[in-house]
Homo-oligomer: A and B are copies of this chain.
Amino acid sequence: MLDKILNAQSVAIIGASKNETKRGYQTISTLLNEQYEGEIFPVNPKEARILGLKCYPRVADIPRAVDVALIATPAKTLPAILQDCGENGVSGAVVLAGGFAETGKDGKLLENEMLKVARKYNIRLIGPNTSGMLNLKSNLNLVGLKNAPSGNIGLLTQSGNMALTLITEAKLKSNKGFSYYVGVGNEADIKFHEYLEFFHNDSSTKAILMYVEGLQQGRKFLQQAYITSRIKPIILLKSGRSATGKKSAGSHTGALAGISEVAQGAFKRAGIIIIENSDELFPAAETLSSLPPIRNNRVAILADGGGHATIAADLLSDQGVELPELDNKTQEKLKKLLPAAASVPNPVDVAGGTDSDPSLFADCAKIILQDPKIGGLLIVGLFGGYGIRFAASLALKEEDAAHQMGKMVKKYKKPIVLHSLYNSEKPHSLDLLRYYDIPVYDSLDISCRCISVLAEHGHNLHAYHAKTKFVFDSKNKAKLKGRKIIDKVRSENRVALLEYEAKDLFRLHGVQVSKDKTAKTPEQAVALAKEFKCPVALKIVSPDIIHKSDAKGVLLNLKAEDEIQNGFKNIIASAKKYNPRADIRGILVSPMAEDGLEVIIGTKIDEQFGPVIMYGLGGIMVEILKDVSFRILPVSRRSAAQMLEETKSYPILNGVRGRQPYDKKALIKLIIICSEVIEAYPQIEEMDLNPVIIHKEGVSIVDARIILKSTGGLS
């Protein structure tokens, strides 16, 4: 689909110009200079020829259907120009102009008008408000930027300057480059996930690098990322996190800026590598496009000085990478090679052992990579600089080591990343390492991050099957009786289920729910309490009273007959006072739940990502500490278990001070059932189980609230 646009064989430049400062001139000049493989059609009613090419008054005048049009004219011209494009049969257009949704309401209207024309003629749009696009295989350069390095990284950004930053960095500091660059702009038509799908299928792209300020279709993006990250690493920097950052992002891309914490977690579960520091963005992509992943999260550090090793050990530990002691045999082999002062457990510090012969680095690296415990190696310090610092002849030894290490990585399928203080001096040995796809950085921080993304990607690949697809599968999940409950609510023009209706729904889906019954009279309530043989709670049943406590419509732990009778009467009286017109259907009599731990579970619909679920302990844990965890639905068993583990209060579930643990299995099952309920009944907007009591065995839903969407039917 996007293939015809991103690999266009012909391009029309609308707004072509003879003025050298104009984009409509520069683009044609660049396409000619960089020897674009396809045909170029300048479009400008006032010119006959531009840079030697025949110029057409309108796109519609071009004698063949053009694959892609670069439109360099102002926003307001777009609807008419797309009309022309449609007449020609143009497949796609790159709309550079700003002045659309990012500027507010009027811009949004103009964007919609433009989209309408595009849809009519089946033209797909990149942008608007984009810096353009670039195909480095055919030199289709529709971006104001020359000499970008070609390579195997697909680049998607929502900021032209960030693209410039990354492309400049690639050119100056690596031998890697890009297959494509697309400035996603406002995402008016083509969305992030469609580009992702294109890169998924493009054989020249090995890794995908993204700078994102906001997503138009978050869930589809997750679904595609989940599939793509399995075969190609996706590296993403998400900005617009802070309040000011959000405003800043919104002011220039018009995106739904600000992706929630929830989404950050979901990105990780979709297998995306999230980068926080912009300095690490290109290096992470470079590393992931070059080296095998680390399968076991276990890394060794090889250093020729203590400080670097110590800092690297701290950083890798912070990033959750393990630095196990090397195998005894490995340590013995290293000891034989190195001076007595060397430290060999991990980090390995050669303690001057390489001063007279840096090819020893390769010998050490080989011994370390052969250790079955170790999944990857980080070398830190002066390698590459021995020839500069000590004696020129040592450079040859370094080059020998580089050749050996390069081949070693391929042989053992374990990565090496190198930090070198001498990187900026560009010694030949470091170029050799790069030739073998071993990246080299002069920053310790970046080198460590690169090793850790290899470990993260390895973990992602390993954990793939346990991950969530982010796809709803409602088939067979809904129960006939469940649908009837919801239909009844709808038929009464209600949006809120009554407590017993909500509980009935959960009972249908296999949750043990207390056998509450509705009493119409005080006497019925007493009789029900006797039946239950335990203290009871009384709660008002009225479609007009959602917040029962506010109406003093709840009494707990009633035992004696007169308590129950008086309670019944008091609740009715309070409810009538609270809302004289309330349709009161009776009083729900519930057996009091046994002792246990109070938790809360809720679901709601996120604007960008759809249904999400929240779990947390009740009381101060949620009130003061906001100690909750979130997931985008649906959730797997593993995800549900992780939700519990992610909360700080998790140890309490396991039993504090030797107390018996609570029934985590039942709680996990309940979270999964909540997920299923949301899948089964797309009419649900929001759900609140508060509190749920977890016992030593089983759980009790003490109160349940389900709110339906105000409109919408069965899907």
Contacts and interface: CB of A to CB of B under 8 A. Distances in A.
A277 B444 CA distance: 9
A408 B92 CA distance: 49
A620 B656 contact: yes
Q: How many chain copies does the complex carry?
A: 2
A241 interface: yes
A81 interface: no
A445 B310 contact: no
Contacts of A249: 306, 310
A516 interface: no
Contacts of A304: 161
A159 interface: yes
Contacts of A347: 244, 248
B279 A159 contact: no
Interface string A467-509: 0000000000000000000000000000000000000000000
A667 B158 CA distance: 52
User: Which of the listed residues A240, A382, A390 has the most CB atoms from chain B within 10 Å of its own CB?
Assistant: A240
Classify chain A: how many residues form its interface, as a range: 35 or more
Nearest to A165: B421
Given A211-B307, A310-B240, A310-B248, A648 B623 contact: no
Interface string A380-400: 011000000011000000000
Given A248-B309, A249-B306, A624-B656, A161 B341 contact: no
Contacts of A253: 306
Contact of A305 (B161, B237, B446): B161
Contact of A625 (B278, B311, B623, B648): B648
Nearest to A343: B251
Interface string A292-327: 000000000000111111110110111000010000
A243 interface: yes
B624 A279 contact: no
Contacts of A160: 305, 307
B382 A161 contact: yes
A314 B164 contact: no
A652 interface: yes
Interface in A342-396: 343, 345-347, 349, 351, 381-382, 390-391
A239 interface: yes
Contact of A445 (B245, B277, B318): B277
A279 B278 contact: no
A103 B157 CA distance: 52
A307 B161 contact: yes
A278 to B, nearest CB: 5
Contacts of A157: 307
Interface string A389-429: 01100000000000000000000000000000100100000
B279 A162 contact: no
A242 B305 contact: no
B161 A349 contact: no
Contacts of A244: 313-314, 316-317, 323, 346-347
A514 to B, nearest CB: 27
A377 to B, nearest CB: 15
A625 B648 CA distance: 7
Contacts of A310: 159, 213, 239-240, 245, 248-249, 252
Contacts of A553: none
A252 B317 CA distance: 19
Contacts of A591: none
A299 to B, nearest CB: 10
Contact of A245 (B168, B317, B624, B656): B317
A244 B345 CA distance: 10
Contacts of A343: 248, 251-252
Contact of A421 (B161, B318, B345, B381): B161
6 contacts: A159-B308, A161-B381, A244-B347, A248-B347, A252-B309, A624-B652
Interface of A: 21, 98-99, 103, 157-162, 164-165, 168, 172, 211, 213, 237, 239-245, 247-249, 251-253, 277-279, 304-311, 313-314, 316-318, 323, 341, 343, 345-347, 349, 351, 381-382, 390-391, 421, 424, 443-446, 620, 623-625, 648-649, 651-652, 656-657
Given A159-B306, A211-B307, 19 more contacts: A21-B390, A21-B391, A159-B307, A162-B311, A164-B382, A165-B444, A213-B307, A243-B317, A244-B346, A248-B349, A251-B349, A277-B445, A278-B444, A278-B445, A279-B444, A279-B446, A623-B656, A624-B648, A624-B651
